[in-house]
Amino acid sequence: MSDVPDLSSDEENFEEDDWQEMETSNTMVRCLFCSEVLSTVELALKHCESVHNFNLNSLKVKFNMDCYSYIKLINYIKTHNPKSEELMNSSKPLWDDEKYMKPVDNEVDEWLMFDFDSLIDNPSSPKTYHANVENGLVTLSQAHFIELQRTIQALTEQLNESNTHLQLAKEDINKMQESMKALVDGGQTSNNGNGDNHIINCVSKVPLEDDEGYFNTYAHFGIHYDMLSDKVRTESYRDAILKNKDTIQDKVVLDLGCGTGILSMFCATAGAKRVYALDQSEVIYHAMDIIRENNLHHVIKTIKGRLENTNLEEKVDIIVSEWMGYFLLFEGMLDSVIYAREHCLKPGGLLLPNKCNISLVASGDVDTHKKLIEYWSDVYGYKMNCMKSEVVREASVDIVGSKHIISEACVVKEIDINTCNTDIMDFTSQFRLPITRDGSLTSLVGYFDTFFDLPHSVSFSTGPETTPTHWKQTVFYFKDCKSVKQGDVIEGTIICSRQKTDARALSVQINVFGKNHKYILS
């Protein structure tokens, strides 16, 4: 059994009788700072506040604490026995270390079972004060006077905080107005706090609060199942790491965007000295349990955070990351790999993978074209041809059968991860596609190949001629089909660029047959 509390939700496994038993059990709670024992955590918190000047609610507001931070706080206190003043006067959360996720006591700890989220970010409810009346004068006892002072101070702090929030709200409105103006003018901007705006042309310039939506997509079970069950993907990484143990042995590794921690565990098994498993998504808390369940926590240190907002304890020898998105560059995670390379990797360090390329090939899948595009010519007897342009404009992610491929492939972009920069999402390339059999050209298909240049080299492809992966292929449909014959050569230009309104999204323009075809991938 793991000695780390299970942080996942499992409400369906509790019966109503179980809750009743928990609610009626006779438990005693020991004060965090003295030997006083109370009947509930709520009473213990009141005792800590009145006797030791320890205000949990103030700490929650001050450090924007969540339930995981609360668990660390309790375990920090029980490990180090600090004075209340040290915690209340600290300028940073002293307990902000993953090692404090491990409970100190083996028995059930009522402090850790407390519903921390039930705390409200407001002062306590108004209190009743008892007064003495002598000779027409009203006096308060010293204890009541001190308590009243604290209440006044708390209300004053709340008022000041409200004024601060109001000011911040005004600033946010101004930023939004400036951003909207910039978008109308044709570019995405960010304010650096000094009133100066700049174009957001890489992920590191996106404010973390604006980037949470991206990380939230990786907090769900389904996407990790899709990635882990993709044998082409996962076994390629496994082989690159485990078949090159001499390269990994005794090295310090950063697993960037670790997800469930599978690549970190491969590295630990290969003999890495230390592995930093980093992810901003909530899945990191499951990775902690998984790593401990496999008894690899002594090698792997999990970190919740976005790399651009995180300081590692040391430089690393190797960066391993599964950063590739649809059409390779979608999601912009290569930006984070480049940032890690520039800020976290030792000189001469290794990147895994270290090379990729993007290719185009022609497809003649007439049936799918009719299903997606020609469908709009007759919808229950009505013409909706105007919808065709909208459907075509959105690049499709799908598995294209090899039987539909009607040309040779052409590499349109080669990327060396060791030297590329964040402008890599913006490129223009010529392509030449020799037609291999007669047919109707319905779309161009984009895919990528990935390479691990190591003593035991490993590579894999996401092309339509190979085993399908969870990346599938990116399909750029044409509104109208074009007849082609074996021996014809389709020549054109592809222009790929980062979307101005979304640093993680792509705009693609394909110039062919004398027309410009524009697509979005978002």
- Per-residue burial over 305-317, b = 16 or more CB atoms within 10 Å of its CB, e = otherwise: ebbbeeebeeebb
Is position 331 annotated as part of the catalytic site?
Answer: yes
The DSSP string of 123-145 is PPPP----EEEETTEEEE-HHHH
Sole residue written with tokens 């101004």: 174
CA nearest neighbour of 406 among 510, 483, 518? 483
Given 21, 331, 394, 414, the catalytic residue: 331
User: Nearest 5 degrees, angle CA 332-CA 337-CA 340?
Assistant: 135
CA-to-CA distance for 300 and 295, rounded, in angstroms? 10
- Angle among Cα 238, 241, 243 to the nearest 5 degrees reads 90
What is the DSSP annotation of 390-427? HHHHB-EEEPPPGGGB-B--EEEEEEETTT--GGGG-E
> Measured between alpha carbons, how far is 157 from 475 in angstroms, rounded to an integer?
57
Retrieve residue 12's tokens. 């369906």
Query: Is 150 within 8 Å of 123 (Cβ atoms)?
Result: no
The token pair at 252 is 């310090």
Q: Is 209 assigned a catalytic role?
A: no
Catalytic residue, candidates 322, 342, 374, 414: 322
Where in the sequence numbering do the catalytic residues fall?
A: 322, 331
